[in-house]
Amino acid sequence: MNIEDQQFRMQGVSLNELAKTYGTPLYVYDGQKILEKVSLLQKAFSSVNLKIKYATKALSNINILKLMKKAGTGVDAVSIEEVHLCLHAGFDPHEIMYTPNSVSFDEIKSAVDLGVMINIDNIPMLEHFGTFFGNEVPLCIRLNPHILAGGNAKISVGHIDSKFGISILQLKHVLKVVQAYDLNVIGLHVHTGSDILDAEVFLKGAEILFDAAREFKELKFLDFGGGFKVAYKPHDISTDIMEVGEKVSAAFRKFCKEYGTELEIWFEPGKFLVSESGLLLVKVNVVKSTPASTFVGVDSGLNHLIRPMMYDAYHDVVNISKLEGPERVYTIVGYICETDTIAADRKLKEVQEGDILAIKNAGAYGFSMSSNYNSRLRPPEILILNGKAHIIRERETFSDILKNQVDIGII
């Protein structure tokens, strides 16, 4: 895990010192961990032509994007703003996959102008694309294989009534459109959900994708999306990436042989690359006993880390102010005026006012989903690289709350 041998250090840097220096709440990311994850994925798929397209939305600080670029990944962007951010961070347009849902055709045209790979996920857009570009711009098509995958209903996007992708049941219609406009389809894509545990789900998706791919003659890549499950608790099971790599690579090589071309295999991991790298450090404001439980109230909440309330996500919590001593059971809650439970019924080293807690697995969908709800300021972000802490985002100030608000002056 991130917190080395319970000394509460990350690459030798003391987390308690960081909290003292930069204050709380504070996001801290382990750059080394991210690089290890990239290497692990590259190793698992070393027998095929792998391209990693990091899912920008998981954690989009430009320094993280630059780190990915340095590690040799491309990126997946889900909005035109993310495309701009990736270009700003130094990615070449051809390294960027743009996978939007429910955006206007104007936004798709802008992305084509920027030279990025377009992934189309509905038939009307495919027709607009054909009308406007014909066969001049290569594209990828996002299919929905209708596989039930992922940790829970809110993060499973491959089921039958999901808004994502073009149903595999509509493949005939897709082929008609492709033919009518002579579309240059060079990639097919599936992304079925998040927190996928076993190789079988990826293999099932692969078989469906292979079947569809046989209908397209000019393919250059197949994209299996993201969704690898990560470990949330000590001894938690996570996707066995070596096993997935071995099984999916074997099936992929076999398909390529049959197809007659050595295609590229793409993955778009978000969580897998950055989740475990991140911690959210918070300070205990109050320890409050009620007849039922003991609440620990901290100086952060769903405005900074919405995953527990939004997805029932599990985040391990450690009291890094206490090396020794007895443990007690607490429910850790945020300061937002809503039900704001970060972690229920957890054993922590006895908590006192002023203690610093580390919330784990805060790298993915932590800061990137944060808000100013309750007019609170967003925390700074720290990246630890080569044993040194770098501030990669300043703490917001009150002027950020007023920014863009217009006082019309007549009230």
Ligand X SMILES: *Cc1c(COP(=O)(O)O)cnc(C)c1O
Does residue 269 belong to the site contacting ligand X (CB under 6 A)? yes
Does residue 121 belong to the site contacting ligand X (CB under 6 A)? no
Applying CB under 6 A, among 272, 330, 335, 367 the residue interacting with ligand X is: 272
Q: Which is nearer to ligand X, 189 or 283 (CB)?
A: 189
Q: Are 348 and 356 in contact (CB under 8 A)?
A: no
Q: Which is nearer to ligand X, 226 or 379 (CB)?
A: 226
| CB 140, min distance to ligand X, A | 11
- Other Cβ atoms closer than 10 A to 25: 29
Does residue 194 belong to the site contacting ligand X (CB under 6 A)? yes
Q: Rounded to whole angstroms, what are the CA distances from 104 to 80, 95, 141?
A: 11, 23, 16
Does residue 239 belong to the site contacting ligand X (CB under 6 A)? no
Does residue 226 belong to the site contacting ligand X (CB under 6 A)? yes
- Other Cβ atoms closer than 10 A to 93: 15
Does residue 331 belong to the site contacting ligand X (CB under 6 A)? no
Which region, judged by CB under 6 A, interacts with ligand X, from 132-140, 177-185, 269-277, 299-307?
269-277
Does residue 276 belong to the site contacting ligand X (CB under 6 A)? no
Q: Which is nearer to ligand X, 233 or 257 (CB)?
A: 233
Write out the two tokens for 32. 């080394």
- List b or e across 310-348, with b for residues whose CB sees 16 or more CB atoms inside 10 angstroms: ebebbbbbbbbbbeeeeeeebbbbbbbeeebbbbeebeb
| CB 275, min distance to ligand X, A | 8
Distance, CA of 302 to CA of 283 (rounded, Å): 15
* C-alpha angle 58-60-61 in degrees, rounded to nearest 5: 140
- List b or e across 107-116, with b for residues whose CB sees 16 or more CB atoms inside 10 angstroms: ebbbbbeeeb
Applying CB under 6 A, among 2, 99, 319, 331 the residue interacting with ligand X is: 99
Q: Are 73 and 38 in contact (CB under 8 A)?
A: yes
Q: Which is nearer to ligand X, 57 or 283 (CB)?
A: 57
Does residue 78 belong to the site contacting ligand X (CB under 6 A)? yes
Residues 18-57 that bind ligand X (CB under 6 A): 55, 57
Q: Which is nearer to ligand X, 239 or 300 (CB)?
A: 239
Distance, CA of 122 to CA of 128 (rounded, Å): 10
| CB 98, min distance to ligand X, A | 10
| CB 45, min distance to ligand X, A | 15
Of the candidates 246, 252, 55, 227, the one whose C-alpha atom is nearest the C-alpha of residue 149 is 227
> What would the x/- binding string for ligand X be over residues 125 to 164, using CB under 6 A?
----------------------------------------
| 86 is annotated as an active-site residue | no
Does residue 342 belong to the site contacting ligand X (CB under 6 A)? no
| CB 328, min distance to ligand X, A | 34
Q: Tell me how far the alpha carbon of residue 57 is from its chain's centroid.
A: 5
Number of chain positions touching ligand X (CB under 6 A): 18
Distance, CA of 408 to CA of 405 (rounded, Å): 9
Q: Which is nearer to ligand X, 241 or 357 (CB)?
A: 241
Write out the two tokens for 198. 């076993």
Distance, CA of 321 to CA of 323 (rounded, Å): 7
Catalytic (active-site) positions: 337
**Which residues of this protein are in contact with ligand X, per CB under 6 A?**
55, 57-58, 76, 78, 99, 191, 194, 225-228, 268-272, 364
